[in-house]
Structure 1
Amino acid sequence: MLDKTTVTGLKTRKSKVIKNKKNKKNKNSVNPINFGNASFFKRNKDLFKRIFITLMIILLIRVLSFVTIPSITLSPSYTQNVSNSEFFQLLSTLGGGTLGNFSIVALGVSPYITASIIVQLLSTDVIPVLSNWSKSGERGKRKLDKLTKILSIPFAIMQSIATIFTLTSQGLISPKWSSSDSGIGPSWFYYMLVPLVMIAGSFFLLWLSDQITLKGIGNGVSVIIFAGIVTKMPNSIISTFKFWIDKNDESSVLLDGILKFIIYLCAFLFLIYMIVVMNEVERKIPIQQTGAGLVDSSEHTPYLPLKLNNAGVIPVIFASAIISTPVTISQILISSGKTNWFVLFCNNYLSFSSWHGIIIYAVLTILFTFLYSQVQINPEKIADNFQKSGTFIPGIKPGKDTEKFISATINRLSWMGSFFLAFIAVLPYVISKLTNLPSSLAIGGTGLIIVISVSIQTIQQIKSRLIEQEFVNRKNKNVKVVESSKKSHIW
């Protein structure tokens, strides 16, 4: 039997060992985010420079979004009609929300998105040359990006002409001069000058997005779309408040409207929470290094993280762009006075006001989630890298078996992730069908998914840059200590 003194001594030793382990762990851990430290901003000058460049480019884009195309007159009902039109809602969301004032950057980056869908689909072993480019590292990516920008030109021409045709036929835009006032007639103005301005604005936005990607924070195209959606959110909330709160002074009507608006806000916040949770959920596949031996605890076990939705927000953007392309062509035909089977098909089966269009949109989102998950995380490449580095999944043979296991795991995760993504994407249109609330004011939708996904990705990139910078600072500090010790030894 141990006496009390011995037991007390053992407890003291144990507490000291635990305390030393904690101190050692805290010493070796990296905690770069310390705004209270005066040297924090000095050590991370590059990061703050990138953030500043990103914010300045976003500010420039917002300023350009208020510059209307020269010599165009907008009707008083332009903003209201554009916000209520499904075609323009979709175009504005993909373009970055710059269509509200028919600005010089009204097309946004939507032509580039449509072209990138086609290039990525053709790169999946459909065209061998493009498939080889996609596997050739940075050099191949640059070639694919150049090809995407070239293919963006015809889509930009098509979308600009469709926009001009539709807005002109509805009487929402008109030239400030007539053919009698100047030598430039209306046909020349609409079909040559305005499309050129819109295409130039779209490619200027692409150049700005490249600057964000290279010198700023996050993916440039995603950040531009994110900024456009966020700037519209306050107006959407105000419009929703006005929709629920009737102007009638009756207390019962006012109280009912306030209650509905509070329920709307609670549902909106809960939906944001669910999207964040679904974006952060991971399936951790344990991995092991050959000859490394057993790991002391499950906390230190290395693993391969696979998210519930590995494709991110790309499937929603792709599905929206695929639907918007035939709708754009139908708008050109309608504006020119032609109505055929194609126009009727688009109106009846691709419109979000019909159940057919909603179901097709959901199915496309699910299919693109499965497709892009395999593209985003290439099981064949992961299995090959594991085999070269001597890494393996316990219980799974290296090589083909590892590839099949990872591929099957991604597909199982994609079932839940794709259906949740499709549910959020079609939610506003379903709410609009079941209630009187316009789809532009309903919760959920493509815009909310894009905003949350881009926010999470940007925050993760900032954290990774902070950690990387902290390791660089520590390495430089250790090098200076070694050099100073060598000098002192020489002396």
Structure 2
Amino acid sequence: MLERIFSIPELVRKLAFTLGLLCIYRIGFHIPLPGLNQEVVQSFMRQQEQGAFGQMLEYVALFTGGNLRRSTLFGLGIMPYISASIIFQLLVPVVPALEKLQKEGQAGYKKIQEYTRYATVALCLVQASMWMVFLHNQHLIYPSFAGSLKIMLMGVFGLTTGTLFLMWLGEQIDEYGIGNGISLLIMAGIVARLPVAIQRLIQSASLRVTSADSSEIGLIKIVFLIAAFVFVVAGSILICQAQRRIPIQQAKHTRGRRVYGGQRQYLPLRVNHGGVMPIIFASSLLILPNALFRRLADWRPGNSVLALLGKAFSYGDLVYNLAYVALIFFFAYFWTTVQFRPKDMSDQLRDYGHFIPGLRPGKRTADYLERVMERITYCGAGFLAVIAVIPQAVAAAMGIPFVIASFLGGTALLIMVAVALDLVQRIESNLIMRSYGGFLGEGGRIKGSRE
């Protein structure tokens, strides 16, 4: 297996380049912002660890590749870029100018990406300013620098530059590395936290079936974590590899006395066309109402409505889970609408002399492909929501800590498996292009569920 990879210099360079940029990301992850008393910051964050604020910061770190609890250069992670991408993907069907740019192909895509970068800078400045004001109000800055505008500006500039650098790393991995750079950065952040989750599980594990101490993880909870781990891994593989295969027929061509064509083939349509992106987008978007309502509740301590909304959008609550499922469905359909073009696919089938049996080429074929894609996207989004929400909801009801539940049977595990599968498929496609049997050897190619 490895000799096939190392026998292709170009693939080795791509993998080495990707690995090198991921190492740079992990180095920058530990560079502190200037002026902050790191000992006081760590002490404050340890006090907030079991509270709602600490859980929110852990949740933010899970899906952004950053860690505000450490207040380092990459503290904001890639979240501003993800937020800007969501905004522009939502605006493309609404704003005619952006829709026109999208139809221009690669040139229009680069222009939209340029606007996304500008929006990322604006979001970074806002979020970094809010975080530096929070640190100042909590007296986490050295007393000699208290009230210093220079330290505030350096912190805002450092957080903004860190996010832009992460955005640049992701784009470089896309262009010169193995690809899927943003997802790989998020996965690298999750993998780096995995040993901490395993260590906490070992420290809290108990072989007693029931325990009066709620901090202990008894035998029933351990069995649930094992079952959730198997369920999420198997479900992730199934949903990422599942296909709906549309039979297509090649038209026959007669040249002289010979008849060419007429072969029957299949058009594979992925059940989960958006991959893990609906979960990343939904999770990133749900961070905002939780942080907003809790911040407003702190400003207005006596307002019961704000306190109720803050609790409703907290991790594990019923309202939060319902909103999470709704956003997964929304982004699954939205991603399919943006990426899947039934009319273009119908025109390509017609131009290459293929057709779907029983359907005329053109509008009827495009309508059929769109109808099929809507149905399988519904199934894919539903299954994605089940494997993302059910284990975490049960874990929250059983009192399993968020850090352990998310890594060993929740969304973090789902993202790791999905991104790892995509990485293996990219390596496999590079091997197959050069007449090798694939990443798993001869006959071991990763296949869809019906191949």
Band of TM-score, shorter chain: 0.7 to 0.9
Tell me the residue number matched to 2:82: 113
Residue 141 of structure 2 corresponds to 175
**1:204 — aligned with what?**
165
Shift in Å, 1:202: 0.6
The Cα offsets for residues 283-340 of structure 1, whole Å up to 9 and x where unpaired, read as 11011222267989xxx74211112211211111221222223334445545666886
User: Residue in 2 aligned with 1:214?
Assistant: 175
| SS at structure 1 position matched to 2:140 | strand
Q: Given the superposition, is the C-alpha separation of residues 469 and 99 from structure 1 closer, same or farther in structure 2, using an over 3 Å criterion?
A: farther
Partner of 1:278: 239
Letter in 2 for 1:203: L
The CA deviation at 1:188 is 2.7
- What is the aligned length? 420
Preserved contact between residue 84 and residue 120 of structure 2 (Cα < 8 Å): yes
Counterparts of 2:303 and 2:44 in 1: how far apart (Å)?
29
Question: How far, CA to CA, are the matches of 2:44 and 2:20 in structure 1?
Answer: 32
Cα 1:276–1:295 shift into 2, 3 Å? farther
Partner SS state of residue 134, structure 1: helix
1:78 matches 2:27: no
DSSP 3-state at the match of 2:33: coil
Q: Which residue of 2 aligns with 1:447?
A: 412
Name the counterpart of 1:430: 393
CA gap of 1:323–1:271, structure 2 versus 1, over 3 A, is closer
Distance 1:143-1:82 versus aligned 2 partners, 3 A rule:
farther
Match of 1:89 in 2: 58
1:238 to 2:238 alignment: no
Aligned counterpart for 1:131 among listed residues 99, 102, 127: 99
- Match for 2:342 among 370, 375, 379? 379
Partner residue in 1 for 2:424? 459
Asked whether the 8 Å contact 1:333–1:339 carries over to 2, the reply is no
Aligned to 1:286, the other structure's residue is in SS state: strand
Paired amino acid for 1:57: L
CA offsets, 1:346-391, max 9 Å, x none?
4044222421121111111112212212222221221122233332
Does the CA contact (< 8 Å) of 2:65 and 2:77 recur in 1? yes
From 297, 321, 330, the counterpart of 1:367: 330
Structure 1 residue aligned with 2:279 = 316
From 314, 321, 333, the counterpart of 1:358: 321
Residue 421 of structure 1: CA displacement? 1.3
SS at 2:282 equivalent = helix
Q: Which amino acid aligns with 1:447?
A: A
Contact 2:343 2:366 in 1 (8 A): yes
Show the counterpart of 2:28: 64
| Aligned pair partner of 1:104 in 47, 70, 73 | 73
Cα deviation, 1:20-69, whole Å, max 9, x if unaligned, reads xxxxxxxxxxxxxx6457xx735x11110110111111111111112221
Distance 2:333 2:354 in 1: 26
Q: Check conservation: 1:427, 1:444, Cα contact below 8 A.
A: no
CA contact (8 A) 1:317 1:446 kept: no
Name the CA shift for 1:230/1:80 in 2 (closer, same or farther; >3 Å): farther
Counterpart contact for 2:297–2:307, Cα < 8 Å? no
Rounded to whole Å, the distance in 2 between the matches of 1:185 and 1:71 is 9
User: Are 2:252 and 1:291 aligned?
Assistant: yes
Q: What amino acid is aligned across from residue 111 of structure 1 in structure 2?
A: P
Provide Cα deviations, 1:400-445, integer angstroms capped at 9, x if missing partner.
1111111111111122211111122223541244211123321443
Q: Quick one: which amino acid aligns to residue 193 of structure 1?
A: M
Q: Deviations over 1:238-290 (max 9, x none)?
A: 2123233289xx9xx9x993564255224313321121112111111011222
Quote the Cα distance in structure 1 between the aligned partners of 2:24 and 2:309.
Answer: 36
Q: Sequence identity of aligned pairs in percent? A: 28
Contact persistence 1:108–1:201 (CA under 8 A): yes
- Normalised to the residue count of structure 1, the TM-score between the two structures is 0.77
What is the CA–CA distance in structure 1 between the aligned matches of 2:269 and 2:3, rounded to whole Å? 35
Cα distance, 1:97 vs. partner? 4.2
Aligned-partner SS, 2:246: strand
CA contact (8 A) 2:201 2:217 kept: no
**Distance between the aligned counterparts of 2:383 and 2:92, measured in 1?**
27
Q: Are 2:56 and 2:287, in contact at CA under 8 Å, matched by a contact in 1?
A: yes
Q: Aligned in 2, Cα 1:49/1:278: closer, same or farther, shift over 3 Å?
A: same
CA displacement 1:212-238 (0-9 Å, x = unmatched): 111111211111001101111121122
Q: Which moved more, 1:213-222 or 1:262-271?
A: 262-271
Partner of 1:484: none
Task: Name the CA shift for 1:200/1:337 in 2 (closer, same or farther; >3 Å).
Answer: farther
2:333 is paired with a residue whose SS is helix
Match for 1:426: what amino acid? Answer: V
Question: Where do 5+ consecutive residues of structure 1 fail to align?
Answer: 1-33, 472-491
| CA positional deviation for 1:457 | 1.3
Contact 1:387–1:399 (CA under 8 A) maintained in structure 2: yes
Contact 1:159 1:328 survives alignment (8 Å)? no
Which amino acid in structure 1 is aligned with residue 101 of structure 2? W
